[in-house]
Amino acid sequence: MSAPTTREDLRPWQQALREEFPIVTGHPELAYLDSAATAQKPQAVLDAVQTYLTSSNANAARGTYTWANRTTELVERTRERVARFLGDSRPERSAVHFTSGTTEGLRIVARDWLPGFLRDGDEIVVPDADHQANITPWLEARESLAREGVHVRVVPMPYQNGSGDYDHRALAERAGPRTRFVATTHVHHVYGGDMNVQRIREAVGPDAVICLDAAQSVGHLPVSVAELDVDFVVFSGHKALALPGSGAVWARQARGPAFVPGGWSGTPNTVGIASLEAALDWLDAAGVGRIERWTAGLAARLTEGLRRLDAYEILGCPLSLAADSDVQRRQGIVTLRHRAIDSGDLGFILFSHGFMVRSDHHCQGDAGEKTGSVRVSLHVYNTDEEIDRMLSALASLQ
């Protein structure tokens, strides 16, 4: 069967997948538009959790009986599943460590790996207009090293004015031979733009370590570590259709010391790992590339409609708003403000019309937006009809 070529071709596929989300089909009067905060779960993931808990729930790597062995096999199998899902061409060399999510994963890299990699006088690049989870751990690592007499310079990631995109040319000018580590984001959680990570590598050279916050990309669009040439990929399972409290750090194990989380390894979140394996299987079967096309199309539909409403400001690169933009790919995140209505009030108003969105500062760093906004974030269960209904509700507030 040939791949769909238009959004209209994708419609039957999307309608069938939407039916696999019980919470979505069970509440047809509501439109869930907050998938950047957490995604809903397909029936296959719910079934996998139920099956695990009722057939082989046990601790991993501690017992020799059947249920314990099955759980140990599940954990190891899912490590391999994560590497394969990320397009790892050398899984025998890389490592996968399970975490409670992106925030913990980034903290583990900052706490247990980064100090052993840096030396006095080294530089790290920190994206201080991205999510706080990708800012605070690196600053904490710097302070911890300073207490030991190792002084590391923080280089703020440069941004293009008004767009939220990285300024790769300015980064190339700021980076030098002591730039050892770069924290970066794959898809921005406020502006919705693909941050062009490949150009980060070009800017900082072949030796710097790059840690990628992939919270808004894994499960939303294809992620290939072979193509991105990054050293760490950190993501949350709950944003990729798995249960809350699940996530992973993938480490290339090529630049710098081997990634080995410190401390005693306690009981893993085995049910979360079971849900993550099922979620990755479901995403592969559905086609992550198709999911990206569907959600990007919804975002373009929303931004095209908002451009006709003078009362609203859309955050992010203005040249990426059009559906046919070749400047930048906007993923399934659109963030907006009403020029007269407070974002918190707008969020309440939208919920009164049946739309669940996020309305606040979105945990952005100090160099980010100073005024709150409303974020609409999409997944495969969202529809054109929901976007059109939301645009009608927004138009009534002109």
- The DSSP bridge partners found for residue 234 are 213, 249
Q: What is the mean pLDDT of residues 259-278?
A: 94
**pLDDT the model gives residue 324:** 52
- pLDDT > 70 in the chain, percent: 96
- For residue 251, the Cα-to-chain-centroid distance in whole angstroms is 17
Q: What is the pLDDT of residues 85-125, one digit of tens each?
A: 999 999 999 999 999 999 999 999 999 999 999 999 999 99
- For residue 219, the Cα-to-chain-centroid distance in whole angstroms is 8
Secondary structure percentages of the chain, helix, strand, coil, to 5? 40, 15, 40
Cβ(30)–Cβ(356) under 8 Å?
yes
Nearest 5°: phi and psi at 63?
Answer: -120, 170
Q: What is the pLDDT of residues 170-193, one digit of tens each?
A: 999 999 999 999 999 999 999 999
User: How is residue 130 written in tokens?
Assistant: 């991205």
**pLDDT the model gives residue 323:** 53
Q: What is the mean pLDDT of residues 192-204?
A: 93
Q: What is the pLDDT of residues 282-330, one digit of tens each?
A: 999 999 999 999 999 999 999 999 999 999 999 987 555 555 555 556 7
> Quick one: DSSP state of residue 208?
S
Cα 106 from Cα 249, distance rounded (Å): 8
Q: Give this prediction's pTM.
A: 0.95
Q: What is the pLDDT of residues 69-90, one digit of tens each?
A: 999 999 999 999 999 999 999 9
Cα 108 from Cα 99, distance rounded (Å): 9
- pLDDT > 90 in the chain, percent: 90
161 band by pLDDT with thresholds 50, 70 and 90: confident
Residue 163 scores a pLDDT above 90: no
**pLDDT the model gives residue 5:** 60
Q: How many CA atoms lie within 13 A of 284 on its CB side?
A: 12
Residue 1 scores a pLDDT above 50: no
Residue 199 scores a pLDDT above 60: yes
Q: What is the pLDDT of residues 208-246, one digit of tens each?
A: 999 999 999 999 999 999 999 999 999 999 999 999 999
- The DSSP bridge partners found for residue 185 are 213
355 band by pLDDT with thresholds 50, 70 and 90: very high
Sheet holding 209-213, edge to edge: 95-99, 247-251, 232-236, 209-213, 179-185, 123-126, 153-156
**pLDDT the model gives residue 297:** 92
